[in-house]
Homo-oligomer: A and B are copies of this chain.
Amino acid sequence: VDPDLRDQWLARAHAELSSAGRRSGAARTAVIELLAREGQCLLSAQKILDLLRAERRTSGASVYRALEELHDLGLLRRLDASGGVARFEIVAPGRRHHHFVDDSSGSVRPFVDDGLERAIEDAAARLGVVLSGHDVVLRGRSVASMRA
Protein backbone atom coordinates (compact mmCIF):
# COMPACT_ATOMS: atom_id res chain seq x y z
CA VAL A 1 0.00 0.00 0.00
CA ASP A 2 1.51 3.24 -1.19
CA PRO A 3 0.20 6.15 0.94
CA ASP A 4 1.07 8.80 -1.65
CA LEU A 5 -0.74 6.95 -4.36
CA ARG A 6 -3.71 6.42 -2.08
CA ASP A 7 -4.08 10.08 -1.12
CA GLN A 8 -3.46 11.33 -4.62
CA TRP A 9 -6.13 9.08 -6.07
CA LEU A 10 -8.57 9.82 -3.29
CA ALA A 11 -8.23 13.54 -3.99
CA ARG A 12 -8.63 13.07 -7.71
CA ALA A 13 -11.66 10.83 -7.24
CA HIS A 14 -13.45 13.37 -5.10
CA ALA A 15 -12.56 16.16 -7.49
CA GLU A 16 -13.78 14.31 -10.57
CA LEU A 17 -16.98 13.21 -8.93
CA SER A 18 -18.00 16.62 -7.64
CA SER A 19 -17.07 18.31 -10.89
CA ALA A 20 -19.27 15.74 -12.60
CA GLY A 21 -22.11 16.95 -10.41
CA ARG A 22 -22.41 13.81 -8.32
CA ARG A 23 -23.44 13.93 -4.71
CA SER A 24 -21.54 11.91 -2.16
CA GLY A 25 -23.19 9.08 -0.32
CA ALA A 26 -22.19 6.52 2.24
CA ALA A 27 -21.93 3.56 -0.13
CA ARG A 28 -19.81 5.13 -2.81
CA THR A 29 -17.61 6.83 -0.25
CA ALA A 30 -16.94 3.46 1.33
CA VAL A 31 -16.09 1.95 -2.07
CA ILE A 32 -13.73 4.79 -2.89
CA GLU A 33 -11.93 4.62 0.40
CA LEU A 34 -11.53 0.90 0.12
CA LEU A 35 -10.18 1.12 -3.41
CA ALA A 36 -7.72 3.83 -2.49
CA ARG A 37 -6.24 1.48 0.10
CA GLU A 38 -6.64 -1.97 -1.36
CA GLY A 39 -7.19 -1.33 -5.04
CA GLN A 40 -3.66 -0.45 -6.02
CA CYS A 41 -3.53 -3.80 -7.80
CA LEU A 42 -6.43 -5.87 -9.14
CA LEU A 43 -9.33 -6.37 -6.75
CA SER A 44 -12.46 -8.24 -7.76
CA ALA A 45 -15.90 -6.73 -7.37
CA GLN A 46 -16.79 -9.72 -5.27
CA LYS A 47 -13.87 -9.14 -2.92
CA ILE A 48 -14.82 -5.50 -2.60
CA LEU A 49 -18.33 -6.55 -1.69
CA ASP A 50 -17.11 -8.98 0.91
CA LEU A 51 -14.79 -6.47 2.52
CA LEU A 52 -17.46 -3.80 2.64
CA ARG A 53 -20.09 -6.11 4.01
CA ALA A 54 -17.72 -7.05 6.80
CA GLU A 55 -17.48 -3.51 8.08
CA ARG A 56 -20.46 -1.56 6.80
CA ARG A 57 -23.95 -2.23 5.59
CA THR A 58 -23.45 -1.70 1.87
CA SER A 59 -25.64 -3.18 -0.81
CA GLY A 60 -24.30 -5.01 -3.83
CA ALA A 61 -26.24 -2.74 -6.13
CA SER A 62 -24.52 0.35 -4.82
CA VAL A 63 -21.10 -1.22 -5.04
CA TYR A 64 -21.58 -2.20 -8.66
CA ARG A 65 -23.05 1.18 -9.48
CA ALA A 66 -20.11 2.95 -7.86
CA LEU A 67 -17.61 0.79 -9.72
CA GLU A 68 -19.23 1.49 -13.06
CA GLU A 69 -19.36 5.18 -12.33
CA LEU A 70 -15.70 5.37 -11.33
CA HIS A 71 -14.72 3.35 -14.36
CA ASP A 72 -16.66 5.67 -16.67
CA LEU A 73 -14.88 8.65 -15.16
CA GLY A 74 -11.53 7.03 -15.92
CA LEU A 75 -10.71 6.56 -12.26
CA LEU A 76 -10.62 2.77 -12.46
CA ARG A 77 -9.09 0.24 -14.78
CA ARG A 78 -11.08 -2.89 -15.38
CA LEU A 79 -9.84 -6.38 -16.22
CA ASP A 80 -12.31 -9.20 -16.64
CA ALA A 81 -11.36 -12.60 -15.34
CA SER A 82 -12.67 -16.10 -15.65
CA GLY A 83 -16.05 -16.88 -14.15
CA GLY A 84 -17.68 -13.64 -15.19
CA VAL A 85 -15.68 -11.82 -12.57
CA ALA A 86 -14.80 -8.16 -12.94
CA ARG A 87 -11.60 -6.90 -11.35
CA PHE A 88 -10.65 -3.27 -10.83
CA GLU A 89 -7.66 -1.20 -9.87
CA ILE A 90 -7.18 2.51 -9.43
CA VAL A 91 -5.77 4.53 -12.30
CA ALA A 92 -2.80 6.72 -11.44
CA PRO A 93 -1.38 8.79 -14.29
CA GLY A 94 2.25 7.94 -14.88
CA ARG A 95 2.09 4.86 -12.70
CA ARG A 96 1.44 2.13 -15.22
CA HIS A 97 2.10 -1.46 -14.29
CA HIS A 98 1.51 -4.86 -15.83
CA HIS A 99 0.43 -8.12 -14.25
CA PHE A 100 2.04 -11.47 -13.75
CA VAL A 101 -0.19 -14.37 -12.73
CA ASP A 102 1.47 -17.28 -11.00
CA ASP A 103 0.17 -20.53 -12.46
CA SER A 104 0.57 -22.48 -9.25
CA SER A 105 -1.03 -20.08 -6.82
CA GLY A 106 -3.16 -17.95 -9.10
CA SER A 107 -1.87 -14.89 -7.32
CA VAL A 108 -1.32 -11.69 -9.25
CA ARG A 109 1.91 -9.73 -8.99
CA PRO A 110 2.17 -6.27 -10.50
CA PHE A 111 5.40 -5.25 -12.18
CA VAL A 112 6.85 -2.30 -14.05
CA ASP A 113 8.93 -2.74 -17.17
CA ASP A 114 10.01 0.21 -19.27
CA GLY A 115 11.27 -1.92 -22.13
CA LEU A 116 7.89 -3.54 -22.42
CA GLU A 117 6.18 -0.18 -22.24
CA ARG A 118 8.33 1.12 -25.07
CA ALA A 119 7.73 -1.99 -27.17
CA ILE A 120 3.99 -1.48 -26.83
CA GLU A 121 4.24 2.09 -28.03
CA ASP A 122 6.41 1.05 -30.93
CA ALA A 123 4.00 -1.71 -31.88
CA ALA A 124 1.12 0.76 -31.78
CA ALA A 125 3.03 3.11 -34.06
CA ARG A 126 3.73 0.29 -36.51
CA LEU A 127 0.05 -0.63 -36.38
CA GLY A 128 -0.94 2.92 -37.15
CA VAL A 129 -3.11 3.39 -34.10
CA VAL A 130 -3.43 5.78 -31.19
CA LEU A 131 -3.67 3.90 -27.93
CA SER A 132 -6.26 4.61 -25.28
CA GLY A 133 -5.01 1.80 -23.10
CA HIS A 134 -3.57 -1.66 -23.00
CA ASP A 135 -3.72 -4.80 -20.92
CA VAL A 136 -0.72 -7.07 -20.55
CA VAL A 137 -1.02 -10.24 -18.51
CA LEU A 138 1.88 -12.65 -18.25
CA ARG A 139 1.29 -16.15 -16.95
CA GLY A 140 3.81 -18.69 -15.70
CA ARG A 141 5.81 -19.87 -12.74
CA SER A 142 8.37 -17.89 -10.88
CA VAL A 143 11.78 -19.51 -10.65
CA ALA A 144 12.31 -20.16 -6.92
CA SER A 145 15.77 -19.49 -8.12
CA MET A 146 19.12 -20.63 -7.01
CA ARG A 147 21.47 -17.86 -8.13
CA ALA A 148 24.44 -20.15 -8.54
Contact = CB atoms under 8 A, between A and B. Distances in A.
A135 interface: yes
A127 B142 contact: yes
Contact of A134 (B82, B84, B136): B136
Contact of A138 (B100, B123, B140): B123
Nearest to A81: B80
Interface in A91-148: 98, 100, 103, 111, 113, 115-116, 118-120, 122-124, 126-143, 145
B140 A126 contact: no
A81 B85 CA distance: 9
B120 A116 contact: yes
A12 to B, nearest CB: 21
Nearest to A142: B129
- For this chain, the copies found in one complex come to 2
Contacts of A98: 123
Contacts of A128: 142-143, 145
Interface of A: 78, 80-86, 98, 100, 103, 111, 113, 115-116, 118-120, 122-124, 126-143, 145
25 contacts: A80-B80, A82-B86, A83-B84, A84-B84, A100-B127, A100-B129, A111-B123, A113-B126, A115-B122, A116-B120, A116-B122, A120-B136, A120-B138, A124-B138, A124-B140, A127-B142, A128-B142, A128-B145, A129-B138, A129-B141, A131-B138, A131-B140, A135-B136, A135-B137, A135-B139
